[in-house]
Structure 1
Amino acid sequence: MLLNHIKIAFRNFKRQTFFSLINVAGLAVGLMATWLIAVYVYHEYSYDQFLPDTNRICAVAFDIKVGEQEAYTTNTPPPLGPRLVADNPEVEMAARTFNLGTVVVRKQVTGKDPVQFNEQLAIAADTSFLELFGFPMVAGDVKTALDSPESIVITEEMARKYFGNDSPLGQTLSVNDNLFNITGIVRDLPSSSTVQFNFVMPMAHYQVVERFSWSWIWLQVDTWVKLKAPVSEGMISTLEMRFPQMIRTFATPAYARAGQNLEKQLAGGDRLDVKLLPLSGLHLASGNLVSRLDTLGDQGQVKIFIIVGGLILLLACVNFMNLSTARSVKRTQEVGIRRALGSQRGMLIAQFLTESMMFSLFAVLLAGILVVLILPLFNKLSGLELNVSYLFSFPILTIIALLPLFTGLLGGLYPALYLSRFRSADISKMAGAPLVGTHAGVRSGLVVFQFAVSILLMVGSFVVYRQLHYARSYSPGLNRENVLIIDNARHLGNASGKDVYRQQLMQIPGVVSASYTSFLPSQGSFGDFYEPQQGDQQRPVINSIPIGSYLTDEHFIPTLGIRLLKGRGFNAGSKSDSTSIILNETAVKAIGWDNPVGKWLRYPGNENQRFQVIGVMEDFHESSVKAVIEPTAIFHESSQTYQTWGSSMAVRIRPGNEKTVIAKAGELWKNSVPTVPFEHDFLDASFARLYKLEAKMSQILGVFTGLTLFIGCLGLFALAAFTAEQRTKEIGIRKVLGATVPELVLILSKDFLKLVLVAIVVAVPVAWYTVSQWLQNYRYRTSVEWWMFVAVGVAAILIALLTVSYQSIRAALQNPVKSLKSE
């Protein structure tokens, strides 16, 4: 019986090749999109699953509130990790990591120029780091590889990059002019690893961390703990209940050493809580977490793609259902004859479901081919590095194996039930007449649903793109355009060496100004606590305030186009500016000063060094527009108020001179620092990278929106063709009676356009609510305007009109004699 069903299915496929191909194509495109989204979602939820003890590892975070400033961050102090191990028997081990920023890695080659590169993924870590995570090692001992302060562990990729086919074990690499012995090689980390690195050096080598081993204020390391048992809510609650006592016991003296009364601050409503974040959920459960980890994802975005994938699959099934029911009039005679010959309704349902399953199977096979072909483009859009084997991994194949069954049932069940209810007595009534009533209503409802979903995605895609553009271009208080960034400026030597290079840059035609700075907006800043002078401020006295800062020179403000609201900037050669500070508006408001110029701040982190406010600058964004603008300050580099590993030269250039300036700046760099590769960037590009998740979402959502339109238009095209075929006699009669081609096209198209208008009415309020809710994630956001919905609605009407007009015009141009003869 099954074989007979399959034979009949093949005959029907051949008999109606055009509609069958459209059905398979629509399903294949929908399944391809669903397949890719399933791969993306699986990747996002599989973070860190390659590690042996993922369910026992936690990141440590601080939940901080100081005055009106709040932060939830994985930036933690050096003593926290050792303290957690000492005080909590449930904690097996802890490890701290310290981001080293850009480093210069060099391998000396006898008789040749050294192999050297600027590298980004370099960290310092405690000796327990590799063992805690259980990173798979290709060579070396995971327990002892970082025991020596001069040891270094690299990944397979770096081993190939610097040593080719030679074994790197026992050989040396220079990192920022310090020699390290290679003691281990880690297998290349997958893209689904939260912690990413290419080089790991021992924390003991970096004395700056040891210098602050007492401080609970210097939040410059990431802390990780491994528990003795799998993580559970109960265990985390038990541990977190002990942490307030730990803070009072050990953090209070550290705060007192810095001149602050932590007990008084906590009693006044401030907060300093330690939290444990399970690694298994860290990637997507980070929420508003501030972190140096740049691998954290967005759970909301993943949920959006799950919904989009489900909608695309549903649209593909709707297409199938719509076309099947539309063609049902062609099969009423077949059904009647079968019923007259004794076929039971169950057999007819089985026949139609078999055909539906076969269509789904063909579509899945075609989708598999399309997925393989489109994978490189998908990798480029998503930023992933997936290979073909990932597409056919067991979890993905399990999902894909269910798709033919799901789509076959969903797409074929209604047509099967509808067609199988016909009896032989119905044939004379049904044959040759178009189906109306409930059936036509269902078909119309499905068309409305298809275009409503397409319109919803069009609006969503447009708003996401508009917000992305807004975020990239929104820059009050700061001019991001035409600012060249030259990295690794610390290698220029002391202040004199940096100034020499800066002066050389100023001689290049097209250079407007140049400045040396420890950090730049979009690249982080140095954060610590400062105590405002009490004086005559109007608000209650606050003990301290967290401030992010830049250590720079007198050229920083003009180079970045920062607007001063009060006071002045730094003066060239002014010795007094070594104790000067420039605050932003937010810092002034947080302190409560009405007249800040002339007031003083004390820095407990550097022997109570004092700074006088000489200016107030307009607020500008240091990071994504998702975050609120934080208190920010600018110190002159001569203050030497803190040490930092960051260093850049910012160069403002005239538009159109980019290539010339970069080339000449590179030549000057090579003459000044021949052992350090020249690396450059642009400030606006650096800001754009802050929105990589939004950019990824915009691109992928745009592509899938296009696919939903394609699927919808494919079905609409087929329905238009079928409608024209059904109304051949009517068209012929109207043409003989004098109807013009435009009139006939309007008659054939208006029913479909009415459905699109209904879809617009249905989709607009849903789209408005959805995008408005999504924009709430951003502190600074674009607005939702009425013209967006008008533009999308007009676009949908035009797309629908173009889709059906071909069939309408083709039918209207047909010879009426031939049309009537065919009837």
Structure 2
Amino acid sequence: MFKNHLKIAWRSLKKQPFFTFLNTFGLAIGMAGGLLISLYIYDELSYDTMFADSDQIYRVNADIKFGGDAHESAEVSAPMAAAMKNDFSQVKVTTRFRNIGSVLIKKSNAELNAKELQGTYADATFFEMFGIELLYGDVKTALTKPNTLVLTKSAAEKHFKLDEALGQLVVLENSETYTITGIMDDLPQNSFLKDRSVFMAMSGYEDAQAMEWTSHNYFTFVKLIKDTNIDDFNFLLESMIDKYIIPYAQAFYPGITKEQFIASGNYINYSIMPLTDIHLHSNRITELSPNSSMQNVYILSFIGVFLILLASVNFMNLSTAHSLKRAKEVGVRKTLGSSRFGLIKQFLTESAIISFISLVLSILLAVIALPFFNTLSGKTIAIPFTNPIFWFIVFLATAVLGIFSGSYPAFFMSKFIPVKVLKGSAGVSNGGGRIRNSLVIFQFAISVFLIVSTLVVFQQLEFIQNKDIGYTKDQVLIVNDAYAAGNQVTSFKEEVQKLGQVESVSLSGYLPTPSYRNNSSFFKDGSTEQENAINMQTWDVDHDYLNTLKIEIIAGRDFNKAFSADSSAIILNESAVAIMGLQPEEALGIRLSRELGSENPEFSKVIGVVKNFHFESLREDIGALSLNLSSSSGSMSVKLAPGNFSNTIANIENIWNRVAPGQPFSYRFLEDSFNDTYQAEKRLGRVFITFTILSILIACLGLFGLAAFNAEKRTKEIGVRKVLGASVSQISYRLTIDFLKLVGIAILVSLPLGWYAMNKWLEDFSYRIEIGWGVFATAAFLAIIISILTVSYQSIKAAIVNPIKSLRTE
């Protein structure tokens, strides 16, 4: 019997190729989109699960408020790892990382450096903690001695043959010599360490040995014994404040107690976060690598599920629209003895065949679209063709989708009454109308919701691009790693300044884009109480920094080469002044020091106050900041005059090659660095617009099917109307207006949902747009225009049919 069902189903599908194509194509689009989104979500959820005992590994976090600054840190103090190992029996092993950013590295006898984008100091327990094996070297000794390092395979191959790299000497930053004690495989792309390529021994890093309990600079991980109660362990962490933090602070604040510290509004709260939760649930300052958000996973899950549902609804509508052409077939089958259950099995077999044909087409579409999708999402996803579990899930999902999609048409068509359909009456005019209409409303509600979401995301991105951020990011060229020029860096700056298209040049340690930074606590002269501390970032800049980036001074003056005392001067931003409870003019002349506890502390005099400018993401409020003169030369900022930059960049490179031979020359534009901060939002916007287009396409196919069904059902009515004098436009209008009512209901349902969802999304931004009525009007207008264009073809086609043919349908 099943073989018979297959034969009949295949003949039926071949008999109606256009209908089969529409159904197959609609399902294939939904399935391909669902497949890609599923692979994306699986990749997101699998972050850091490849490490041994990943469910027992946790990162220690710190929530801190001190000196007017409150922040959630992913780092803790250097001695905390050893203290936890000694004090808590639940701790099996601890390890620390200290991020240092990009690293210049070369063979000991070479002139030319290679640049590794991410280097970090790591404890020798790193390999034990994460269960990482070395391709070459011994994990037990690889990072135990100072001035040793481990390279990833890709980093090592830039300098040596892999089997010859072990024991070789390399020079970092043109100054320190290290011995290679291990080569490890490249870390997976779904790992929090994915960009790290150089791991240096923490034992050789002097700061890591210091017992500074209030300086939080180390990413610290612990592996706990199985079944440790996390709440109990977090409670134990709080005991470290009494045991270590307060005694350490008493060296600077004699007599201070935990009660006094809390009474002044300050706090330090420690907690642990599972390693596998970090990527999707952590948004703290100075993360080891850029994280995603569980919110984005929910959004994409929503899109994926509803994309498949839209395709399924489209299948139902197209099948019911075609049901009238098969009404007599059903009547004959029932007359010849077919049961309703037998008909249902027949129709479900047809839907299953279409589903599996769609599966083949969807995989082909997914393979074609995968490179584009990877670019869109910033992933390196591959379809796991060799994984049997993948095929089991795919085939199971396809079977379920086929049964679900075909269930309504099967039950609907199997209800036809033989007497009526064989007389020529459809016998279905009263059946299923509400369900079909509900399905169209559902389809367009989802489409309108996605249109609203897309418009809001792009409006927020446009707001970010156009907002006054307090400095100029246009036409500012950043020369990376200027310090590689060594003693010639000043001469390099002076020669670049002489170029015709260069307006201004600055050497500095920091740029106003999110990066790895530390805060320092300052005290006013004569005020050493901890409740009067001012916690703020300190940037090393030169005399030309404010001028190059066009940062506005609102009180006082800029650094001036004519004043030698400016070497101990300081410039604050408005947020720092506000913490002191002063107006900008009142802050001028105040002396600040960060050397609390010193017998002869050095003070810095405030000579100026700059207007607040954004140096973090617009998700964050502008924090306190101080600028001081320094010879730091981490990067060079070059403000260019308008014009063609190619020649100027080439001239700068020529100067670099002359003053720093053998050192890599690399540059970027400050605007690009600014835009990189919002890559997650840009990717989300591109994902929204892509799947919004797909959802609209599928919804239009469904509406097209229902329009065909409606026109065929009303064939006699249309003929009568034409005989009585109705024009083509009048008939088209009547056929179209019914669908516009459904679209109107969909709009009314989806707009409030879109407003609520996108307001929740915007809550993550401290600086955000307000969703105006224009977004909803645009979404509604687009939905109406799309539906009119979709329905108009069927409406006009039905309206121009000769009424004689229409009336013969009786």
Do both share a fold (TM > 0.5)? Answer: yes
The structural deviation recorded for 1:257 is 4.0
1:571 alignment counterpart: 560
C-alpha distance 435-821 of structure 1, shift in aligned 2 (>3 A): closer
State which of 124, 136, 143 in structure 1 corresponds to 2:133.
136
The structural deviation recorded for 1:812 is 4.5
Matched residues in 2 for 1:69 and 1:282: separation?
24
Unaligned 5+ segments in structure 2 are: none
Which residue identity is paired with 1:275?
A: S
Matched residues in 2 for 1:578 and 1:117: separation?
34
Matched residues in 2 for 1:398 and 1:444: separation?
35
Matched residues in 2 for 1:427 and 1:736: separation?
26
Is the counterpart of residue 28 in structure 1 residue 24 in structure 2? no
1:250 alignment counterpart: 244
The structural deviation recorded for 1:467 is 1.2
Matched residues in 1 for 2:227 and 2:198: separation?
29
Which residue identity is paired with 2:167?
A: G
SS at match of 2:618: coil
Matched residues in 1 for 2:647 and 2:450: separation?
44
| Contact 1:28–1:363 (8 Å) recurs in 2 | yes
Bigger shift: residues 190-199 or 323-332: 323-332
Which residue identity is paired with 1:242?
A: L
Matched residues in 2 for 1:541 and 1:172: separation?
47
Deviations 1:725-780 (A, max 9, x none): 55556556655666554444434433223322222122112211221121111111
Deviations 1:209-242 (A, max 9, x none): 44xx121233222111222x2365x1x2222222
C-alpha distance 63-143 of structure 1, shift in aligned 2 (>3 A): same
2:775 alignment counterpart: 788
Is the counterpart of residue 150 in structure 1 residue 147 in structure 2? yes
Matched residues in 2 for 1:490 and 1:184: separation?
28
Is the counterpart of residue 298 in structure 1 residue 293 in structure 2? yes
Matched residues in 1 for 2:227 and 2:465: separation?
39
C-alpha distance 566-536 of structure 1, shift in aligned 2 (>3 A): farther
1:280 alignment counterpart: 276
1:588 alignment counterpart: 577
SS at match of 1:221: strand
Which residue identity is paired with 1:451?
A: F
| Contact 2:112–2:662 (8 Å) recurs in 1 | no
C-alpha distance 245-766 of structure 1, shift in aligned 2 (>3 A): closer
| Contact 1:22–1:715 (8 Å) recurs in 2 | no
Matched residues in 1 for 2:135 and 2:458: separation?
43
SS at match of 1:624: coil
Bigger shift: residues 506-515 or 587-596: 587-596
Is the counterpart of residue 77 in structure 1 residue 66 in structure 2? no
2:542 alignment counterpart: 553
TM-score (norm 2): 0.93
Q: What are the equivalent positions in structure 2 for 1:392-431 lying under 5 Å apart?
A: 393-394=387-388, 396-428=390-422, 431=424
| Contact 1:349–1:420 (8 Å) recurs in 2 | yes
The structural deviation recorded for 1:536 is 10
The structural deviation recorded for 1:555 is 0.9
SS at match of 2:429: coil
1:661 alignment counterpart: 648
1:354 alignment counterpart: 349
| Contact 1:485–1:683 (8 Å) recurs in 2 | yes
State which of 473, 476, 494 in structure 2 corresponds to 1:480.
473
The structural deviation recorded for 1:589 is 1.4
Q: What are the equivalent positions in structure 2 for 1:793-812 lying under 5 Å apart?
A: 793-812=780-799
Matched residues in 2 for 1:599 and 1:165: separation?
58
The structural deviation recorded for 1:657 is 3.6
Matched residues in 2 for 1:284 and 1:603: separation?
36
1:636 alignment counterpart: 629
| Contact 2:514–2:677 (8 Å) recurs in 1 | no
Matched residues in 1 for 2:236 and 2:747: separation?
56
Which residue identity is paired with 1:802?
A: L
Which residue identity is paired with 1:368?
A: I
| Contact 2:420–2:426 (8 Å) recurs in 1 | no
1:641 alignment counterpart: none
User: Cα RMSD (Å) of the superposition?
Assistant: 2.6
The structural deviation recorded for 1:598 is 1.3
Matched residues in 2 for 1:297 and 1:723: separation?
46
| Contact 1:94–1:225 (8 Å) recurs in 2 | yes
Matched residues in 2 for 1:257 and 1:677: separation?
46
Is the counterpart of residue 615 in structure 1 residue 602 in structure 2? no
Which residue identity is paired with 2:563?
A: S
SS at match of 1:777: coil
Is the counterpart of residue 181 in structure 1 residue 179 in structure 2? yes
Bigger shift: residues 707-716 or 258-267: 258-267
SS at match of 1:378: helix
The structural deviation recorded for 1:345 is 2.2
2:261 alignment counterpart: 265
Deviations 1:335-362 (A, max 9, x none): 2222222222222222222222222111
Which residue identity is paired with 1:159?
A: A
C-alpha distance 357-114 of structure 1, shift in aligned 2 (>3 A): farther
2:503 alignment counterpart: 512
The structural deviation recorded for 1:325 is 2.0
C-alpha distance 341-820 of structure 1, shift in aligned 2 (>3 A): closer
Q: What are the equivalent positions in structure 2 for 1:427-446 lying under 5 Å apart?
A: 427-428=421-422, 431-433=424-426, 435-446=428-439
Q: What are the equivalent positions in structure 2 for 1:165-204 lying under 5 Å apart?
A: 167-177=164-174, 178-196=176-194, 197-204=196-203
| Contact 2:575–2:623 (8 Å) recurs in 1 | yes
SS at match of 1:101: strand
Deviations 1:465-520 (A, max 9, x none): 211222233233222222111111222335xx433222211111221111111111
C-alpha distance 362-446 of structure 1, shift in aligned 2 (>3 A): same
The structural deviation recorded for 1:46 is 0.4
SS at match of 1:123: strand
Bigger shift: residues 622-631 or 812-821: 812-821
State which of 661, 670, 686 in structure 2 corresponds to 1:699.
686
Which residue identity is paired with 1:309?
A: G
Which residue identity is paired with 1:230?
A: K
C-alpha distance 167-741 of structure 1, shift in aligned 2 (>3 A): farther
SS at match of 2:751: helix
Matched residues in 1 for 2:257 and 2:351: separation?
70
SS at match of 1:519: coil
Matched residues in 2 for 1:190 and 1:267: separation?
46
1:163 alignment counterpart: 160
The structural deviation recorded for 1:377 is 0.8
Bigger shift: residues 79-88 or 327-336: 327-336
Deviations 1:151-203 (A, max 9, x none): 22111222333336764223333321233332222122111101231111112
The structural deviation recorded for 1:603 is 0.4
Matched residues in 1 for 2:264 and 2:120: separation?
38
C-alpha distance 355-121 of structure 1, shift in aligned 2 (>3 A): same
Matched residues in 2 for 1:577 and 1:597: separation?
13
C-alpha distance 97-820 of structure 1, shift in aligned 2 (>3 A): same
The structural deviation recorded for 1:326 is 2.2
SS at match of 1:485: strand
1:220 alignment counterpart: 217
C-alpha distance 191-792 of structure 1, shift in aligned 2 (>3 A): same
Matched residues in 2 for 1:492 and 1:78: separation?
32
Deviations 1:244-272 (A, max 9, x none): 33222222343344558463323433111
C-alpha distance 573-221 of structure 1, shift in aligned 2 (>3 A): farther
SS at match of 2:51: coil
The structural deviation recorded for 1:86 is 1.6
| Contact 1:532–1:591 (8 Å) recurs in 2 | no
| Contact 1:265–1:543 (8 Å) recurs in 2 | no
TM-score (norm 1): 0.92
Matched residues in 2 for 1:314 and 1:510: separation?
57
SS at match of 1:546: strand
Matched residues in 1 for 2:388 and 2:51: separation?
18
Matched residues in 2 for 1:796 and 1:305: separation?
22
1:6 alignment counterpart: 6
C-alpha distance 485-597 of structure 1, shift in aligned 2 (>3 A): same
